[in-house]
A = this chain, B = another copy of it.
């Protein structure tokens, strides 16, 4: 079950929506008493047929044996009331999976309760200790590395990387998705949350993720934040320099004109952001933006096509909405870039 109590929308329930897109077959129910009975697909655009229920007990009754905290908020703290709902799930013998900065395993009462009921608590945000500072080895790997970067946070970087990985695998390439955030980790079953690393070691964490998967010919690395977002730009740059990609896909939400969590500062024009990412990558390994991923949610198919054409003309790069139109054109652009 995905716990989204009071927060079932595509901004707040970012983790839940990611799972509904990429592994709906694993989701039994979504818990949010304020939306119970409503149509999940209508609310967030994904998860057709999966019920929204009012209580943890109802979700367990549907067969859920695991509760995933489905919200991802700024600072990563528990929403008031979530501890009580998690306790209920533990008593119903569900394992608990949490991707927030605030940790289940540092909560004595929850740890004791989990022990009593024989369930496991997973804090996916935690980065293991002992990962060294970046040593700048990723750029020497002979494989092909692509990082998704953003015009803001929450713009579809994970989805673009996942869509490209699936398409490359479908075409027979040896491609691997590299998760760098909690939702990606839940979907892929590996990865590390770079935003939880101690900042001195964040590039080292990115480097480790790439070195550990160096045997794959194609790595599609999940981006984080945005190079111009004052709250998270350091995470973005650590990831860019640590993973040393040769290619970038810029991700964008069509309707977004102002940065989230930043007093409504205007987004930079796409062309300026492309230059910024390419410029700042250069001292480590020059990377080139080869395409644009656009979240066109809210538009009709025809409107979305117009918007993609407009963006293609603006930046002279192929653009697509990966979830609506697939990533054929980006795949071709990536193959062309690495061939040439």
One digit per residue, 1 when the CB lies within 8 angstroms of any chain B CB and 0 when it does not, for chain A 100-143 equals 01000000000000000000000000000000111110010000
Q: Which residue of B lies closest to A207 (CB)?
A: B230
Contact indicator A231/B74 (Cβ below 8 Å):
no
In-complex Cβ contact of A133 among B74, B133, B204, B265 (8 A):
B74
Knowing A233-B237, A280-B280, the reply to whether A136 touches B200 (Cβ < 8 A) is no
Contact indicator B136/A262 (Cβ below 8 Å):
yes
Using Cβ atoms and an 8 Å threshold, which residues of chain B touch A135? 231, 261, 263
Please, how many residues of chain A have a CB less than 8 angstroms from a CB on the other chain? 47
Contact indicator B101/A203 (Cβ below 8 Å):
no
In-complex Cβ contact of A234 among B229, B241, B244, B283 (8 A):
B241
Within 8 A of B (CB), among A227-259: 227-239, 241-242, 244
Using Cβ atoms and an 8 Å threshold, which residues of chain B touch A239? 234
Q: Does A279 contact B (CB under 8 A)?
A: yes
Knowing A75-B132, A196-B199, A280-B280, the reply to whether A234 touches B231 (Cβ < 8 A) is no
Q: Which residue of B lies closest to A283 (CB)?
A: B228
Contact indicator A196/B200 (Cβ below 8 Å):
yes
Q: Which residue of B lies closest to A194 (CB)?
A: B199
Using Cβ atoms and an 8 Å threshold, which residues of chain B touch A279? 276, 279
